[in-house]
Amino acid sequence: MRRIKALLIVCLGTMTLTGVSRSLCIFPDTASIPALIAVSQDSEPASGMFLVAQRGLHDPYFGRTVILLLHHSANGSQGLIINRKFNLKLSDAVEGFDKLEASKHNVFFGGPLGTHRLFMLMRHGDATDQSRRIATDIYFSTHHNVLEHMLERKTPDSELRLFLGYSSWSAGQLAGELMRGSWHLAEGDSEAVFDAASNGLWEQLIETLEPGGIEVKWEEEDLLKVNSMPQLVAPSIVSSSR
C-alpha cells in the first residue's frame, strides 16, 4: 500500500507539473469518444451527470478532469474522476483475487479522498443487490464479493472500471464552484465511462463545451478600457443624385 500511495503522489505531480513520466501514468488517448450533450449551467447537478473541468481550473487534483457524479443533494456531493488511468493493475493494488483476472484490469484515480480504498463502476448491477444504479448501464459498488463475482465471470474492462479514491463536496460547495465557473455540466454516458479511450475524454469534451481559440493575456486595466470605449456606430449610407 505504501507503493500505491507513492504512485498516487508522483503520478499527480508529473501530470500537473511536467507531463513526462510515462512509466507511472497513462496519458490521454485522443481516439473518438461518443459526443455528449451539454447541460445548462442553471440546471441542478444530479447523479449520472458529468462535471467537466473548465480550461481555467488549475487545480492539482481536478484540472483537466471529467467526474461522474455518484450522488448530489443539499447535504453534499460525491463522484469519481473517470479520465485518469494509472499504469497500475488490480493485481498490484489488492490481494486475495485471482492473479490472472486481476492483472487484466487497470486502476483509475477516482479522487483525493479515500485513496486506500477501491471503488467500482459496472455496466450491469450485481444479483446480490450490493450495487447502486447511477445512470443507464452504470452501477456503483464498494463490496468485495461483488468484485469477486465480476472477476469470476471474467468481466472485461469494457464493463468494469476500478478506482482508488473518490471526490467529495460539502453542502453548497459544488454549487459555489459551478457559480464561479469551475465546471461544465454534461449528460453522463456509459459509453464514455467504459470506453478504452476515456483517458482522452476531457480533451474531446472541452473542445465542444469551451472552444479553445488563441489565448490572450489581459490586464485588469485593459478590460476597463475596453468596457469604457464608446460604441462604434456604423456609417449611414448617403444616396447621391446625378
Q: How do residues 14-37 score in pLDDT, each as one tens digit?
A: 332 223 233 345 545 544 555 566
Using CA atoms of 149, 164, 52, 157 in order, give the dihedral in degrees to the nearest 10: -40
What is the predicted pLDDT for the residue at 46?
Answer: 94
Q: What is the mean pLDDT of residues 159-176?
A: 96
Among 82, 89, 41, CA closest to 62: 82
State pTM to two decimals: 0.76
CATH of the domain at 167: 3.40.1740.10
- Amino acid at the residue 232: L
Each residue of 76-109: pLDDT tens digit?
999 999 999 988 899 988 888 888 888 989 999 9
Q: What contacts 174, CB < 8 A, 6 or more positions away?
A: 45, 51, 72, 76, 77, 183
Residue 199 lies in a domain: yes
Q: Is the pLDDT of residue 219 over 70?
A: no
Using CA atoms of 16, 34, 150, 137 in order, give the dihedral in degrees to the nearest 10: 120
Residue 233 lies in a domain: no
Residue 231 lies in a domain: no
Residue 232 lies in a domain: no
Q: How many domains does the chain have?
A: 1
Count of beta carbons in the 10 Å neighbourhood of residue 40: 7
Range of the domain at 110: 2-212
Residue 204 lies in a domain: yes
Residue 196 binned pLDDT confidence (cut-offs 50, 70, 90):
confident
Q: Is the pLDDT of residue 233 over 60?
A: no
Residue 221 lies in a domain: no
Among 163, 170, 171, CA closest to 65: 163
What whole-number distance in Å separates Cα of residue 211 and Cα of residue 6? 35
